[in-house]
Each structure stands twice: as structure tokens, then as C-alpha cells.
């Protein structure tokens, strides 16, 4: 799967959506973390149809910042403006151009900074821009199987059958053949396109370069952080806390920074798509629910690198093994759902008594609880968190639960929970 045959393009589930948006909106913005494939995707979809201009945090490319109207006058055709956060002055000029013509598909923008770009877009291009968030490659995209989606089938209730749940579940998405692929190897590599065709021995060099570029280029632009070395330590520490509830005060004490700085730096990681917050689910049940959000790191390949894990085999015995595997499944679900017409709401659940559900999807008023275990043969006991969730919210519409694991094929482990192989989600 990972032979070094040269960098090749892998189809993305969101391609049809981007094409459709470009045929109806004058501006489409593709946002996501550094190196998730934004530019490659746009250039693959549209080829030479759009002129490409790549902006830089230091150089004012063609005076786009100082003379935005002149810049656009020199580029009268369709434009793909890559890393547009480095030239936000252009957005008002773009608004004036699209208001004059009203034609769809005039501009495609890309950016690796969420809050800064969206703030400027919302102020300058409200009602004129469609925003798409691109993640790293999902497993189904890696292996070229984007035609079916077991997770979407499950949410839509396709699994219901008088023949039996296991037979129905097997019919949702065809297995990619034989034994399941090695999960640790997939987790160790992560989902950034640039890693997939590299020999495993070169992955540390890729991630070291990514980290250096991210801290020295992106962070200098996003925030006024004087001590970049300390910020790098913060980044590493936060990675170790992926899928946990974050105590900003404790986080600050560990690095000898104050709580306000810890919160600000966490926000920087969120704004650059390195970190995602998942709120706690609560609808005032009889039992009190702890209301802290938990955070999830964006890529398990980088997470393993930051924790100095040297091979896939080392994940199995690592103290953070559970968090790493949970991170992979949650980010995989994010990737899969990003191609849906409507994104679900995402929550986690933890009662004061300690019962937990790793992830809850909410769509069409229905809740779908997801538990995550790295074992190959989970039992009914492993779904105890889902059972507790059902008992705590008896009046909610709660759908079938999933227990994502290393099983070879789906099978029912309790009345309301199906064990789902990790490689069958997409």
C-alpha cells in the first residue's frame, strides 16, 4: 500500500460538492490545515481553467495587498488564490468584482487559517461565498474506495433487515478483501497526502519539516508569539492530551505559562486546523453531566511524531495507545462526514459517575453514539458507556450504537450496538 511509486493523486469524496458549488456561487473557499491537499485538489478538478496565484506571508505578490484593485485588473479571468489569508486586502476588491458580474465560479480561495480567513470572508463576501473544509485523506480515499460509505448507510438506517443485522451490515459496503489491513501502520502514517507514498524511514523527516514550517511560517503570521520554542513544547503537550478534557490552568502550570496564554495558544491551534474541540452533550437530564469539552488532534501521524514513537509496532505498548487510536477514529469520522450534504453535530458524553461515550453524532434530531476500542474482539461490557447514555437520556431519539474496533467484520454485541471494523467506516 505504501510503496514509493511517486506522489500520485487520490480522489477525494468532496470533489463533486466543490464542482457543484463552483457552478452556483461566485466564490468558493477551500479551507484546511497545511498539506491536506487543498491546492492539489483544486488544480486536479479544474486544471488550467483557473489562473493560480500563490500568496506569501513575507512578499507582497504583485502588490496584491497594497494595490488589490490593480492586482485584479491584471488578472481578469477565473482565479485560484492560494493561501489567501496572506492577502486579506483582496477580499473587498473581490466583492466588488463579483457584484458587478454575478457569474458563478469566478474565484476559488484556499487558506490554512480558519478564524482569520472566515472572519474576513464573513465581513466582505457574505452571501457570495461557499466555504468547504478539507481534512486529510480518509482511509477509503487512501485505498480508492469512495463509492460507498458504511457510516452514512448506518445513519440512514440501511442496516435494518428482517434477515438479521449481521447479514444486512455485511451488505452495506463490500469488504476490500481478506484480512483487515494493519491498523497501527495506518495510524502511524496519518492522513496527510505527502506521507502516503513515502518509505516509513522518511516519515520523521516529513513531519519534522512540517513542524518547522508550521511554527516558523504559520504561527508567526497568525499570532504574536515571542517564544516559538515554548509554543512547540505546548503543541507537543497538547498532542499528548488528545481526546481528553483540557484543563487550561493545569496545562499552563506544566509549561510555566498563565491560563490566559494557554487558552490563546490552544485557539491558535484551532484556527490553523491542528486541534478540534468537541463539546459535551447535555439536555438537562435527571443525572448531572460534566460539561467540559474535549479536544482532538488533527493527524495521528504528526501525533506519533510529536510523542517520539518510532514505528507502528511501538504504538501497541505506548502509554498513549488508547488516545492515539481514539484520535484516529474520531478524525476519520470527521473526514467522512465532511463530504455529506449536512454535517452532523459532534459531542462526547461523560457522566459524573465516570461513564463515557467517545463520540455522539446528531443528525435529523437523532443521536448516534460511538465507542472506540483497539481490541479485535470487544464484548458487551465494552459498550457500557452507550448503555449508560441511553439510560441517562430516556426521552431522546437514540439510534443504533457503533463500537469501532479491530474486528475483521461487523457483528452485533448487544441489542443496540454493532461492532464495526475501523477499515469499514468509509
Q: Where are the domains of the chain?
A: 15-133, 140-192+223-424
In three-state secondary structure terms, 227 is coil
d(CA 227, CA 204) in angstroms, rounded, equals: 24
Rounded to whole angstroms, the Cα distance separating 206 from 213 reads 11
φ, ψ (nearest 5 deg) of residue 341: -65, -35
Question: What three-state secondary structure class fits 270?
Answer: helix
Query: What's the burial of 147, exposed, middle or buried (CB within 10 Å: 0-12/13-18/19+)?
Result: exposed
**Distance, CA of 228 to CA of 401 (rounded, Å):** 43
| Strand ordering across the sheet containing 366-372 | 345-350, 356-363, 366-372, 401-405, 417-421, 411-414
The grid cell for 111 is 487558506
CA distance 400 to 150: 13
Burial class (CB in 10 A: 0-12, 13-18, 19+), 367: buried
- Amino acid 158: pLDDT: 61
Q: How many angstroms separate the CA atoms of 399 and 361, rounded? A: 10
Report phi then psi at 211, rounded to 5: -60, -45
Q: Which pLDDT score, from 0 to 100, does residue 127 have?
A: 87
Q: Tens-of-pLDDT digits for all 426 residues of the chain?
A: 333 345 689 999 999 999 999 999 999 999 999 999 999 999 999 999 999 999 998 899 999 999 999 999 999 999 999 999 899 999 999 999 999 988 999 999 999 987 667 777 778 888 899 999 999 999 999 988 877 688 888 888 764 443 334 434 444 443 444 466 799 999 999 999 999 999 999 999 999 999 999 988 888 777 778 888 999 999 999 999 999 998 888 888 889 999 999 999 999 999 999 999 999 998 754 444 556 899 999 999 999 999 999 999 999 999 999 999 999 999 999 999 998 988 999 999 988 888 899 999 999 999 999 999 999 999 999 999 999 999 999 999 999 999 999 998 899 999 899 999 999 898
Question: Which strand (E) or helix (H) includes residue 349?
Answer: strand 345-350
d(CA 276, CA 114): 11
Cα 330 to Cα 316: distance, rounded to the nearest angstrom:
19
Q: Is 96 helix (H, G, I), strand (E, B) or coil?
A: helix
* pLDDT for position 226: 82
Q: To which residue does cell 500563490 refer?
A: 54
CB atoms within 10 A of CB 365: 7
Q: Is CATH 1.10.580.10 the classification given to domain 15-133?
A: no
Strand partners, 132: 30
The answer to whether the CB of 141 falls within 8 A of the CB of 149 is: no
Q: Please name the residue ranges forming H helices in 156-227.
A: 165-170, 183-189, 203-213, 220-222
β-pair type (51-54, 294-297): unpaired
Amino acid at each position: 500500500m505504501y510503496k514509493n511509486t511517486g506522489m500520485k493523486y487520490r480522489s477525494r469524496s468532496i470533489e463533486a460538492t466543490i464542482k457543484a458549488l463552483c457552478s452556483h456561487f461566485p466564490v468558493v473557499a477551500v479551507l484546511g490545515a497545511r498539506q491536506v491537499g487543498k491546492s492539489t485538489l483544486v488544480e486536479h478538478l479544474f486544471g488550467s481553467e483557473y489562473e493560480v496565484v500563490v500568496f506569501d506571508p513575507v512578499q507582497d505578490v504583485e502588490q496584491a495587498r497594497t494595490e488589490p484593485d490593480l492586482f485584479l485588473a491584471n488578472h481578469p479571468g477565473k482565479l485560484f488564490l492560494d493561501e489567501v489569508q496572506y492577502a486579506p486586502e483582496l477580499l473587498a476588491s473581490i466583492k466588488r468584482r463579483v457584484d458587478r458580474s454575478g457569474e458563478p465560479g469566478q474565484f476559488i480561495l484556499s487558506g490554512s487559517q480558519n478564524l482569520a480567513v472566515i472572519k474576513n470572508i464573513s465581513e466582505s463576501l457574505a452571501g457570495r461565498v461557499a466555504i468547504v473544509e478539507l481534512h486529510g485523506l480518509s482511509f477509503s480515499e487512501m485505498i480508492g474506495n469512495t463509492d460507498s460509505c458504511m457510516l452514512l448507510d448506518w445513519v440512514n438506517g440501511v442496516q435494518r433487515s428482517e434477515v438479521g443485522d449481521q447479514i444486512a451490515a455485511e451488505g452495506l459496503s463490500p469488504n476490500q478483501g481478506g484480512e483487515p489491513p494493519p491498523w497501527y501502520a495506518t495510524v502511524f502514517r496519518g492522513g496527510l497526502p505527502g506521507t502516503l507514498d513515502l518509505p516509513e524511514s522518511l516519515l520523521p523527516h516529513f513531519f519534522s519539516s512540517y513542524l518547522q514550517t508550521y511554527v516558523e511560517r504559520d504561527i508567526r503570521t497568525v499570532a504574536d508569539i515571542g517564544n516559538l520554542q515554548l509554543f512547540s513544547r505546548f503543541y507537543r503537550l497538547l498532542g499528548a492530551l488528545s481526546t481528553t478534557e483540557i484543563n487550561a490552568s493545569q496545562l499552563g502550570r506544566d509549561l510555566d505559562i498563565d491560563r490566559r496564554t494557554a487558552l490563546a495558544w490552544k485557539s491558535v491551534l484551532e484556527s490553523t486546523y491542528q486541534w478540534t474541540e468537541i463539546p459535551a452533550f447535555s439536555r438537562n437530564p435527571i443525572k448531572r453531566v460534566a460539561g467540559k469539552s474535549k479536544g482532538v488532534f488533527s493527524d495521528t501521524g504528526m501525533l506519533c511524531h510529536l510523542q517520539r514513537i518510532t514505528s507502528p509496532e511501538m504504538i501497541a505498548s505506548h502509554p498513549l495507545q488508547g488516545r492515539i487510536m481514539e484520535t484516529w477514529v474520531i478524525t476519520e469520522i470527521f473526514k467522512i462526514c465532511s463530504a455529506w450534504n449536512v454535517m452532523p453535530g459532534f459531542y462526547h458524553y461523560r457522566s459524573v459517575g465516570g461513564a463515557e461515550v467517545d463520540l455522539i453524532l446528531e443528525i435529523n434530531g437523532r443521536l448516534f453514539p460511538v465507542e472506540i476500542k483497539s481490541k479485535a474482539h470487544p464484548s458487551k461490557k465494552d459498550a457500557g458507556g452507550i448503555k449508560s447514555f441511553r439510560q441517562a437520556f430516556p426521552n431522546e431519539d437514540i439510534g443504533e450504537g457503533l463500537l469501532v474496533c479491530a474486528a475483521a467484520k461487523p457483528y452485533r454485541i448487544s441489542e443496540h450496538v454493532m461492532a464495526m471494523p475501523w477499515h469499514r467506516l468509509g
